[in-house]
Amino acid sequence: MLNTQSDYRKELEKAAKRMILIHNVDTLVKLILRSTVRFLRIEHASLLLYDQTRNAYVAHTSKGKPGLIIPKGFTRISNENPVINYFTQMHSQIIKADYLLFSHIGNMGGQLQEKIKDQFVLYNAMACIPGFFREKLIFALFLGRKMDRQDFTDEELGFLSVLSSDVVMAIQNASLFQGLNEQLLRNKDLFLQTVFALSSAIEAKDPYTQGHTKRVTRYALVVAEELKATGKIYGTDPVKFFEDLRIAALLHDIGKIGIAESILNKNGVLDEDERKEMQKHPYIGAKILSEVNEFYESILGVKYHHEKYDGSGYPDALKGESIPLIARIISIADTFDAITSNRSYRETLSREEAIRLIIQQSGKQFDPAVVEAFLNACKKGQM
């Protein structure tokens, strides 16, 4: 039994991290509802989840006491639903609604009050938490009455509002992966479009990486072309190597989906604990991608792009050519873009300064052969 407020916060945060690794939407929704009911100790919970294929919201509910289950057949909810409308309209205004309490509905007045009240009665709910991805309302989570009959506290509701961004990312992630597996059976172009969508999801969570993944991808492919020209790209299928490199570069930071926004968006240098948490993102990314067979080779680039040639990198302290070539290429492309792009916690280096720094790190952070290919590309004005 959870006895303190910190207990439910820790458990819900753990559940949110598990959610990122689930790629089936129905399974994910069940976990969200089960975790919410258990850790908040409420009678039941219901979720109105946006379904893009239907352009409507679909109702899901946890198991609860008799009479708390959504009526059979009542599954599709229009965009004109009053609760959906309320959160959508409020989100477009300066003052946004982080949650809505049943006890506050009476302050609205007019027909809107009665329509929203009817929805809360239908779901036997005491509160509702919205979840947005950019400007789109992804879900509305209805919370039933607490077992102890106490009111929800501002701290509980505020915490859930913050947590909703992680839940949204988990749902978006699961939806994209579910679509990805279907697209793999149809068309490689559609597959790559979904890869682009996944890379966009990373940048939506980390504003300091706007355009970063596309630039890293371009730089990595240019360096690989230079390596190919000198015979350094080897293997039975060079075309496949470039395809895998492109996907790995686009998704090299996807593990950041599982890192707290407070760390990603911190306006300053990370402390030791935050740095250790951030260093988990290559492993998280590899775990996220591990269930899609098509990503097998690309995962090597995602997992090991922060390894260093001298063995001082992470997550596994690999050294020299034990680091997969795909990761050694992404490492230099990632570093070059990072140090020549704006960051809140340090000054941007010029192109010339960045090149000098990379030369200094040849044989230390970077593979000398990859550095040579990088310099060749720079001389041609391709970086």
Hunting for tokens 């680091």 — which residue is that? 323
pLDDT, position 280: 94
- Model pLDDT, residue 189: 65
Q: In this structure, what token pair is assigned to residue 219?
A: 């730089």
Position 293 scores a pLDDT of 72
Per-domain residue ranges of the chain: 5-172, 187-379
Amino acid at 138: I
CA dihedral 63, 124, 39, 24 (to 10 degrees): 50
Residue 219: φ, ψ to 5°: -60, -45
Residue 27: is its pLDDT beyond 80? yes
- 158 versus 125: the higher-pLDDT residue is 125
Q: Which residues of 53-70 are buried (b: 16+ CB within 10 A; e: fewer)?
A: eeebbbbbbbebeeebeb
pLDDT at residue 291 above 50?
A: yes
Instruction: Name the more confident of 70 and 154.
Output: 154
Task: Render 290-308 in DSSP notation, one character per residue.
Answer: TT-GGGHHHHHHHHHTT--
Most confident of 24-38, 67-81, 190-204, 297-311: 297-311
- pLDDT value at position 73? 41
Mean of the pLDDT values across residues 79-88?
87
Q: What average pLDDT does the segment 103-121 reach?
A: 82
% of the chain residues with pLDDT over 70:
85
- Kindly indicate the confidence band of residue 55, based on its pLDDT and cuts at 50, 70 and 90: confident
The predicted structure's pLDDT at residue 96: 59
Q: How confident is the model at residue 22 (pLDDT cuts 50, 70, 90)?
A: confident
What is the per-residue pLDDT for 177? 82
Instruction: Please state the φ and ψ torsions of residue 42, each to the nearest 5 degrees.
Output: -115, 165
Nearest in space to 183 (alpha carbons), one of 198, 163, 162, 203: 198
- Based on DSSP, count helices (H) and strands (E) in the chain, helices before strands: 15, 6
Of 331, 343, 339, 342, nearest to 355 by C-alpha is 339
Say how far apart CA 130 and CA 142 lie, in whole Å.
Answer: 9
Please determine, for residue 371, whether its predicted confidence score (pLDDT) is greater than 80.
Answer: yes
Phi, psi of 61 (to 5 degrees): -140, 150
The pLDDT score that the predictor gives to residue 3 is 47
CATH code of domain 187-379:
1.10.3210.10
Is residue 2 predicted with pLDDT exceeding 50? no
Peptide bond into 315 cis (omega under 30): yes
Question: Does residue 173 carry a pLDDT above 80?
Answer: yes
Residue 243 identity? E
Q: Which residue has the higher pLDDT, 7 or 20?
A: 20
What is the overall mean pLDDT for the chain? 83
**What CATH code is assigned to 5-172?**
3.30.450.40
Compute the average pLDDT of residues 38-67: 81
What is the per-residue pLDDT for 71? 47
Binning pLDDT at 50, 70 and 90, where does residue 1 land? Answer: very low
